[in-house]
Amino acid sequence: MARTQPNIIITGTPGVGKTTHCEMLAENTGLKHLSVNELVKERGCHDGFDEAFGSLIVDEDKLLDAIEDEVKQGGCIIDWHACDLFPESWIDLVVVLRVDSTLLYDRLKARNYPEAKLQENLDSEIMEVLLQEARESYAEEIVIELRSDIAEEMEGNVERIEGWLKQWGKNNTDRS
């Protein structure tokens, strides 16, 4: 069964604005915001707690099983710092948000991230780890990189993604 609405992943290092983007898109488009962090807690998709990083250890198989039916129907915006675990057949667009490392440091510090977690996320952003992960996991034409340093960039990004959604709808109206 072909989807009548696309699925989008919004990914990037913690602190780049993924949730803000997803919430704005969900409000503007009616697509469903799937916050992986919330789903992991709500649906028990974890294997305990990592003390050093102050976060749950995600069971990726449980997570995929928990969201498969929803995602296969389409119309989901997946919000998470990783993307390579989601099957390519589920995804129509991968948005990798990037932010200046100085801004990112300030944002993560304000969240009281433990030093190890803060440093790992900064290194990940500087080394473009999540961008490379997206490019290696999905077709080049569905991966886009967007800056998310200031509010105006976020608003512009949301408008750009909404434009992509409209075009996807036009390109896929004949599907049944």
Q: Which residues contact 135 (CB under 8 A, 6 or more apart)?
A: 143
Report whether 3 belongs to an annotated binding site: no
Report whether 18 belongs to an annotated binding site: yes
Report whether 19 belongs to an annotated binding site: yes
Place of tokens 């009281």: 112
Cα–Cα distance, 28 to 157 (Å, whole number) = 13
Report whether 20 belongs to an annotated binding site: yes
Cα–Cα distance, 107 to 101 (Å, whole number) = 10
Report whether 29 belongs to an annotated binding site: no
Cα–Cα distance, 107 to 99 (Å, whole number) = 10
Report whether 17 belongs to an annotated binding site: yes
**CA trace torsion 86, 137, 94, 123 (10° rounding):** 100
Binding residue ranges for ATP: 15, 17-20, 111
Binding site listing = 15, 17-20, 111
